[in-house]
Amino acid sequence: MSQYAHFKTYELRYSDFDYKDELRPSSLLGIVQESACLSADELGFGYADLKPKDFGFIIVNTYCELRRPVVLGEALTVETWPLSPRMVYFERDYRVKAGEEEVAAIASRWCLVDLGSFTLLRPDRMGEAHEKCPYRDEKSTAPQSWKIPHIKNGREMYRMTVAVSHCDHYFHANNARYADFFFDCFSMEELSAKKVTAFQITYEKQAKEGSELALWREDTEDGALCEVRCGENVLAQFRVWME
């Protein structure tokens, strides 16, 4: 029996691209999130399956390696599959191709939660969908560590308020939008002078409508660290590698 994978080809829109006519990181995350949802739907643990139970999947980590920029006019094919769960972590990986060329490899970790109490749930709470799931224990890529160092000597870059347009059906800022929040810590000049080779996001706490956020940045030898802060709380962390 062949290994399970979900495949989908996406025709990209002009609005998916930035000032360099390269695919925005937030658009890439939005596309793979779409494939994750479609794969979960066909495996029996999608949004419509879990909503009646008041369960939902919340992303906790994303790591993305970029082989090269995706440019205006290209289409992308996403391959995705779920890996065997580990305790309360559900891993899902992706390969992203333009034609026959792999342009990105992405690893992610999710948690299944009770949306009423936000209690973490184990895989057996999915019932038959978990028992019959064709988990595939193959990695497309992996970070050196899922932990991102906290900023020690950073500087505040800007402030923002979470608005309706940032939020999804879980009533908090959608995970893909964080890529915009973090890359807005850099100028066009900086992003034009360097190539982004990888980035990583850790989602720690929700940012709901009306939350006032401060974006912080600390430069490193190979890129930068960033944080989304709400008061004294760190809601999300970011690490980017550039060359």
Is 155-242 in the same CATH topology as 6-131? yes
pLDDT 10s digits, 105-154: 999 999 999 999 989 999 999 999 999 999 999 999 999 999 999 999 99
Assigned architecture for domain 155-242: Roll (3.10)
For domain 6-131, the CATH superfamily is Hotdog Thioesterase (3.10.129.10)
**Rounded Cα gap, residues 76 and 196, in angstroms:** 19
pTM of the model: 0.95
Does the pLDDT of residue 89 top 60, yes or no?
Answer: yes
Give residue limits of the domains in the chain.
6-131, 155-242
At CB < 8 A and 24+ separation, what contacts does 38-44 make?
A: 38/6, 38/8, 39/6, 39/80, 39/81, 39/82, 39/92, 40/82, 42/6, 43/82, 43/129, 43/133, 43/134, 44/126, 44/128, 44/129, 44/132, 44/133
- Percent of the chain residues past pLDDT 90, beyond the cut: 98
